[in-house]
Amino acid sequence: MAERFVDRETEAYEKRRAQRAVRRADRARKQREREKRIKRYAAVTGGGVIVTAVIVFIVFAYFMIQNYQKAVSKKDKKAAEAAAGKDDKGFADTRESVYEEAAGGTPAMTELTEEELQAIAEAEALAKTTGAGPLVLNTTPDDNTESVISDVDSGYAILISLSENRVLAQRQAHTKMYPASMTKVLTVLVAAEHLGGEEHLDDIFTMTQAIEGFSYENGCSNVGFSVGERIRVEDMFYGTILPSGADAAMGLAEYIAGDQETFVGMMNEKLEELGISETSHFTNCIGIYDDNHYSTAADMAVIMNAAVNDPLCLKVLSQHTYTTTPTSFHPQGIQVSNWFLRRIEDKQETGVVMCGKTGFVNESLNCAVSYARDEEERGYICCTGYAHGGWKAIYDHVRIYTHQFDPALYNATLALGNTTEETGSIEGGD
């Protein structure tokens, strides 16, 4: 059953949020001023963007070749052989000269061609339109992986650095759990991949009595669409995530595949493609409890990583509020909110949580999966499960991210005892 809570947004809250946005923008501006163009290019989402790494290699190799050609034209065969590496000392001298140019900002590395500048701009644009995480996410802990901090309530948890593609912290991350409405991240991902182009976001789906009846009988949260209402496909994408609408998710599934069973088959095919079909299996597109509908915190991180690499999914998952297209049933449209994002924004003092999806069924308690960026705009994915309350799930993500992004701030907050949690549940959080 969906948990509910009453919106108590205040002017003070909005003022704090605006001030925090200004501080973040100022920090980002100063960071950009300190970094040179090449360094910023090489740093865009770390090793996660394969195209970026390839371009950096090509640029470096180009200037190495240029340096070699100059040596050939000015020196005899012996000097050319030294530049090519047959004489170790000669090669070392050549290599050092290239490194000195790169470090000193001489024309060899700063006078980029128009094509190279365009490649840099495209790589930076890609990082802003997608989460730009690694295509194959590593969820295996290593010797340096830590245990999740003790004041996290959730029984299952994982934090992954996308730039390093490694597990930073975990707690029973590979243990079977029920994903509840985190399932809907995969729902929109599969729908986006089979949409056939964003022009189809304007297509229309007519809400059915069967969908409404199934949702009501199972106590699901809904957007509030009416039987017979003609709904834009785009509205169903946002309705699936922001209010965790079962009516929107089922409508999206039927629009894409024709029926629920076929769409669920497509979801499980995607799990196989992602390499997690042995530890995850879904029986519905909503997250309704079924003993055969299961996943792990690590697998949900893999699903979220795939979603933030899809521009449409990233856009939907990062939206805080949305108003559906007006219809004869709802002339003003229906306004929906992602309460996880709106509430965590007021608690997160460092970095920014970009995307999030919560879930709740009795068998999973409160769970959540999110994507965040630190002050250097490096990406992270966190997934937690089995928290004993909607607000506890939010604070678990706040603590995990703060401990990673700013340990001093985390310790100071802990020392001050500033860990009082708000009570109540979260609307649209199932």
pLDDT in tens, the chain (430 residues): 344 343 444 566 566 666 666 666 665 565 555 554 444 444 444 444 454 455 556 555 555 665 555 544 544 444 444 444 433 333 333 333 333 333 333 333 446 677 766 766 665 555 555 566 788 999 999 999 999 999 999 999 999 999 999 999 999 999 999 999 999 999 999 999 999 998 999 999 999 999 999 999 999 999 999 999 999 999 999 999 999 999 999 999 999 999 999 999 999 999 999 999 999 999 999 999 999 999 999 999 999 999 999 999 999 999 999 999 999 999 999 999 999 999 998 888 889 999 999 999 999 999 999 999 998 889 999 999 999 999 999 999 999 999 999 998 888 877 665 545 565 444 444 6
* Same domain membership, residue 151 and residue 87: no
For helices 183-193 and 233-241, what crossing angle results, to 10°? 160
* Same domain membership, residue 348 and residue 216: yes
**Beta carbons of 265 and 297 less than 8 angstroms apart:** no
* Same domain membership, residue 105 and residue 193: no
Place of tokens 């309350």: 389
For 173, half-sphere exposure in the C-beta direction (CA atoms, 13 angstrom radius) is: 26
Query: 104, 129, 154 — which closes off a domain?
Result: 129
Shortest CA distance to 207 belongs to which of 159, 253, 164? 253
Query: 98, 129, 160 — which closes off a domain?
Result: 129
* Same domain membership, residue 305 and residue 221: yes
* Same domain membership, residue 215 and residue 180: yes
* Same domain membership, residue 395 and residue 256: yes
Please check whether residue 85 lies inside any domain of the structure. Answer: yes
* Same domain membership, residue 54 and residue 166: no
Q: Strand 352-361 relative to strand 365-373: parallel, antiparallel, unpaired?
A: antiparallel
* Same domain membership, residue 206 and residue 120: no
* Same domain membership, residue 251 and residue 176: yes
Domain count, the chain: 2
Shortest CA distance to 241 belongs to which of 387, 369, 328? 369
Instruction: Say how many residues make up the chain.
Output: 430
Please check whether residue 32 lies inside any domain of the structure. Answer: no
Domain that holds residue 116: 50-129
* Same domain membership, residue 200 and residue 65: no
CATH code at position 307: 3.40.710.10
* Same domain membership, residue 81 and residue 169: no
Please check whether residue 135 lies inside any domain of the structure. Answer: no
Please check whether residue 3 lies inside any domain of the structure. Answer: no
Please check whether residue 6 lies inside any domain of the structure. Answer: no
Query: 60, 94, 129 — which closes off a domain?
Result: 129
Please check whether residue 39 lies inside any domain of the structure. Answer: no
Please check whether residue 259 lies inside any domain of the structure. Answer: yes
Please check whether residue 4 lies inside any domain of the structure. Answer: no
Residue 355 CB partners (closer than 8 Å, separation 6+): 131, 304, 307, 308, 314, 317, 318, 341, 370, 371
* Same domain membership, residue 184 and residue 117: no
Tokens at 409, concatenated: 């701030």
**Beta carbons of 311 and 355 less than 8 angstroms apart:** no
**Beta carbons of 429 and 360 less than 8 angstroms apart:** yes
Which pTM value belongs to this model?
0.71
Q: Where are the beta strands (DSSP E) in 257-373?
A: 321-323, 335-337, 352-361, 365-373
- Give the SS3 label for residue 342: helix
